[in-house]
Structure 1
Amino acid sequence: MSDLLWITYLGILGAPAIGFLLKGKYKTIAMKVDFIVSCMTWTGLFGYVTSISIGPTLLWKIVFVVGIVWDLLFVIYIDQSDEAIEGLSEKTVKATTVVFSILMLLPLYYGLFRYAY
């Protein structure tokens, strides 16, 4: 049962990214780097879920740290795609985006941590 939930989670994370890729929305360098980092972290989570050894453990330790740092930097400082929501301030929208992003990525980094360590 837990494998099904993990695979569903991978699909929830991956589907929008693949959609963006197919529509050509990765135009900036930061967006392209984000896609590459995301693919690396998804691969690690896939290895964890399926119990398949993909590369050395040191690689996944590096991917874990780099992924967390990149995602925090990207969500907090780099990503400027927040759309205005009527009645809410810009700060409120940004704070909501950051909190939601962190909550969505917690399972990803939990699995990647378990895979790397």
Structure 2
Amino acid sequence: MVEILWYMYAAFLATSTIGFFIHGGYKSSVFLIDLAFTVIAWIGLFGFVTHSQIFTPIVWQVVLAVVVVWDLLFFFFIKARFTEEEAEAGTLSMTVFSGLLMLVLLGPLYYALFQYAF
């Protein structure tokens, strides 16, 4: 039963990324770099869910650290420089809310990578 939930989670991540891609979300090279990090993290998620050994645990320990740092830097600092949104009043509260939502959505991915690495 738990494996089915992991497969559903992986399908949700893939579907949302494909939707973002279809709607032109990956036009900038920085967003393509983010996509590359995402795909690498998904490979780890796939290995965790299927219980198959892909690379060594030390590789996934490095990947986990790099992906978490990249996601935080990208979400809070890098993405704002490459989007065309104007700053509005209350954006700090929306950024905090969006950050918490990101943590809720990506938390299981980080958990899976951690379990797979250690």
TM-aligned CA distance change 1:2 to 1:94, over 3 Å = same
The residue aligned with 1:108 is: 109
Shift of 1:28: 1.4
The residue aligned with 2:13 is: 13
The residue aligned with 1:54 is: 54
Assess if the C-alpha contact under 8 Å between 1:82 and 1:94 holds in 2.
Answer: no
For the pair 1:91 / 2:96, whether they are aligned, the reply is no
Q: Gaps spanning 5+ residues in structure 2: where?
A: none
Shift of 1:33: 0.9
Q: Distance in 1 between matches of 2:97 and 2:20?
A: 22
Q: Gaps spanning 5+ residues in structure 1: where?
A: none
Alpha-carbon displacement from aligned partner over 1:38-76 (angstroms, at most 9, x marks no partner):
101111011001101111222111111100000111111
> 1:79 aligns to what SS in structure 2?
helix
TM-score when scaled to structure 1? 0.87
Higher relative contact order (CA 8 A, sep 6+): 2
> 1:55 aligns to what SS in structure 2?
coil
TM-score when scaled to structure 2? 0.87
In the alignment, residue 75 of structure 2 is paired with which amino acid?
V
Identity %: 36
The residue aligned with 2:4 is: 4
After superposing the two structures, state which structure 1 stretch, 2-11 or 70-79, moved more. Answer: 70-79
Q: How many residues align?
A: 115
Q: Distance in 2 between matches of 1:14 and 1:34?
A: 14
Moved over 4 A (4+): 81-84
Assess if the C-alpha contact under 8 Å between 1:48 and 1:115 holds in 2.
Answer: yes
In the alignment, residue 11 of structure 2 is paired with which amino acid?
G
**RMSD, matched Cα:** 2.0
